[in-house]
Structure 1
């Protein structure tokens, strides 16, 4: 929905020539206004060039001064009544006033019977621009709408373009500004849509539609006039389908860039990326995917499977728009857990180049970590300042021999007697039946929260969350209770899923098999003795 009322205000340009109408009948008077954002000598204005095609009256001059926040501005306005002498298209010339010059204005002079209809067509204009006419299924098109409103309207609304086999979505917010077109002032509203074809063939995109009601009269005495409706012209899109020999996730785009950076920065040793690290010290990996003409909802989630010798914390991807391109940024914090060389994996993604018509693969390289022990992590005794160390130093002990005990031996004997009475009463209490340690506890029969999260991610085919929740479940006691054969089957199926998403030889993958294996794992019961044991502490 657009704003309910669209008043027109003065332009901020240095010198502007405007007319009340640029579609007039012969001998119909209209007003020519010259606005200069300065105080000028109006005696320099020469209106004689108007006389060739127009008659005009005596000019009216007004001057104004305003001070806003200490800044003073002056403005000069010159108004002239003008009428055309003949039918045709004529030009009001440019006028020079001191150092300022206006733009010429084209005036269309018609028969009086035709003026009303053609003037209404000029008051509201819907101009559109489509970035191209052909593409592939899933490749987005950009549809720009410029709405020009040159009259007062009530309840204005702009309907999105539409068509069978097309998904239409508005991008960003409306941009509004005042503009002068051919001497007439308009409120210009810019809006952008993203068009995504869902089927191949010749598709018709019906144009955007403006509706509203014209307001007659002035601001003090106005009435609603006739409804106004304007529709932009229809466009035809030629859409191609996915090639039969394409493998992997369908990503049609003219440009896809996959990049990364590391913190701290990595060093290149003999052509191999290596980085010195210590156990427990974090290394941050930033992965950026820039892709053109693809809706954000169609951008794939990048799944990276890291070795178990590191712990990985992945943040939610962030998206931003850069013209026709969408940029996804992903941050991962990697913490080494063991000493030695650890190879962090590379990442690759398949896509279809709509410019060359060929399948391509973009990739970023992995990194080898040279992990050394971390003295700070291994040390169990904190290093304290000298004054704190002094506090921990035991003070000299002075021994004092007591020769008279007083009443304390009698009080101690009384407490001992009461304790013996309590112990005797406890021993006479009936024995409770003990639960054997190897009996499974009912609350442990259900799968862990990590397994539930893994099942949900598999059901949604979310490769990123599958990788994260699978690593989390592997740290659970329940995972160790699953038979080795079943664990191997689950691991193989997870690897198959990742390969179907991001490897160069990616194939179709269905989640039914993996969901069935996870269902079998959920049924495995955890022994109470095993469940009560504590896992070792890891960085």
Structure 2
């Protein structure tokens, strides 16, 4: 059986090849699937050639003057009847008229043969005469036909198909000076139109105009194939699908400019809100210890790039480290919602009340046509001084204050009496002071003679203690950990090891890097360390070498000051 089929196939191939060179085009036929047709609705032009011709033998470009030309498909059929070979090539093209009127499809010439021209009547859209013949059509609508500049327009395209879809492509609408993007996913449903059941595919687009004036939105377009009702023969090479194309109507929208009295960032929206949060959330914070304030800006119907910068106003009593920002976009009920979140690490510098002013974001309400503002609440905290830390001294003149409280003395007798009393008191004080100086001199001379031998030993001991402490610095485990952390530019380990070492070395308690930086006078190097700790998204910390040098230089400076203070000069020369 297999051999029989092989012989049949070889015989057909031989006949096909032998007849190919001798076949000539003798007939070209042009037909349309319906006449009349409706504007903006597709119809199918079929060109049939009684020979096997190349795919580029027919070019529909000459029809572009009167129609929108869709896809063109090519199919071939070969048959042998009573030993006679016949071949046929079929070109199928989708055409869409855009306006009503009388049109003519010219004669199509292929291989020396030509088809007869076709007169075509195109009806106005909405004419019921063609409704029963519609296989596919597109409807489009917008939510507003009068908007402001950069105000988004919601464009809804609905494709109606009366046949099963094989494949297709829905092309977005087009408009100059506007950004167009799809929103969400397609939706499917079924509807009855003029007694005929259609499957409906819905897709939503957001169109954002970038220029004021008249905006013309060319309708969305569908190109595809649907299955025909006829059955395909196993002996036929023609497909049982039919190409379909359709275009939605053009929509005109008026775009108004930005109001003349508007100032600042232009943000047109139906709704804008801003919220804030504090972490950790508590009423009292400590000087030098950071906390985080986050702001979330939400706007309906705008893209993330349209959101303005969030710039709160902070007082001078805190240091601020921005923690970057994040943007997000999602759709809800066919509407785009954009969000921007930005966080700040706040480090208090001074104790007392801390007030963070309210933040206001101006925006334009497209529903009311009036300016509006999204406002946060004012934040109030209390900042306490940590254990062992000293507050910044405040200048005051208590002596002048007390002097201003004393009433002036104008009585002449009281003045004379006071003068005599002061004179007697001064005489007593002078005599007592002279006696005290004499006694102290005697005692001091005796003490110096006794302690002169031990004084030099004490000075040598004090000097040796400071030098030994500095010499043994590299033998300290915590100091070596600090060295290693600085060498590796590890900010967190450098902070922890430095605080542990300083608490033991200076024999006092440092609660934060801020307090230690004030004690060692290395605020600049520690500020860079803090910024890397409180701002994780910033560039990695690379100042380990600088911090190590500053700390070591500060230790040497403090050692020299301590040595100078402890070592007293000789009261008497050796001569």
Same-fold status (TM-score > 0.5)? no
Structure with max Cα Rg: 2
TM-score bracket for the superposition, by shorter chain length: 0.3 to 0.5
Where is the helix percentage greater, Structure 1 or Structure 2? 2
With the length of structure 2 as denominator, give the TM-score of the two structures. Answer: 0.41
With the length of structure 1 as denominator, give the TM-score of the two structures. Answer: 0.43
Greater RCO (CA < 8 Å, at least 6 residues apart): 1
